[in-house]
């Protein structure tokens, strides 16, 4: 996958998500809802906004994985963070309960893995909870520029609202202003990650010799 093709795909994906966010923000002004219908609609938009965010993160780093794979990098080429992620997907590095037979199989798998071109699996560890911590964890895996601290509170707030609604809590109050802020937040974060992608690809920050 050429880097220009990657950026085009990400642009197209972001444009689609931007369109959805714009529709969500303007829906209340375009239609004459009853007060009760308006409350339900506002409430239901929180998980939709979150799904647009999580979907973007998964899509972006799956596409990046495909791009990195297309570079046919060897074991010694890839940045240690990406290499660790690739190995972890193969043999589950944190699995301490494996029997000796399973460990031997893991080592054999690792030997084959090391001796061939590294292929990243499309397994992005979103934990179904892409808050500030998880987002920066994913960015760190790819040796990608992390989000600034200023996004911690608003992004964690989106997750707090989403999780409460997803678990059936009805005590949380959601306003149209909350929806507008969440939409703007997701739009800003997508744009930031896209902007960094251009630099990331140009400077080949997925390689071991490169450090952000």
What would the pLDDT profile of 45-102 be if each residue is shown by its tens digit?
999 999 999 999 999 999 999 999 898 887 778 888 888 888 877 776 666 555 657 6
* pLDDT at site 110: 74
Tokens 């301490």 sit on residue = 96
* pLDDT at site 99: 67
Cα separation of 78 and 113, whole Å?
Answer: 13
- C-beta neighbour count of 86 within 10 angstroms: 22
Do 134 and 152 form a contact (C-beta atoms < 8 A)?
no
* pLDDT at site 96: 55
* pLDDT at site 211: 43
Positions of the chain with pLDDT under 50: 210-212
Cα separation of 142 and 200, whole Å?
Answer: 10
pTM for the model: 0.86
Helix axes 3-30, 176-202, angle to 10 degrees: 170
């Amino acid at each position: 996958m050429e880097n220009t093709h990657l950026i085009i795909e990400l642009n197209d994906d972001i444009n689609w998500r931007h369109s959805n966010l714009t529709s969500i923000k303007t829906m209340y002004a375009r239609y004459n809802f009853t007060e009760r219908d308006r409350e339900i609609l506002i409430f239901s938009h929180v998980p939709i906004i979150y799904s647009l965010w999580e979907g973007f993160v998964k899509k972006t780093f799956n596409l990046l994985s495909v791009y990195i794979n297309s570079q046919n990098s060897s074991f010694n080429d890839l940045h240690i963070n990406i290499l660790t992620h690739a190995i972890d997907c193969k043999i589950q590095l944190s699995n301490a309960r494996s029997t000796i037979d399973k460990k031997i199989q893991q080592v054999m798998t690792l030997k084959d893995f090391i001796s061939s071109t590294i292929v990243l699996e499309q397994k992005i560890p979103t934990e179904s909870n892409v808050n500030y911590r998880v987002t920066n964890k994913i960015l760190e895996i790819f040796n990608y520029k992390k989000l600034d601290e200023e996004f911690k509170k608003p992004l964690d707030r989106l997750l707090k609202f989403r999780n409460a609604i997803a678990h059936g809590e009805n005590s949380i109050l959601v306003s149209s202003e909350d929806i507008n802020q969440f939409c703007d937040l997701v739009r800003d974060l997508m744009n930031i990650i896209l902007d960094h992608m251009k630099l990331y690809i140009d400077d080949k920050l997925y390689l071991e010799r490169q450090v952000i």
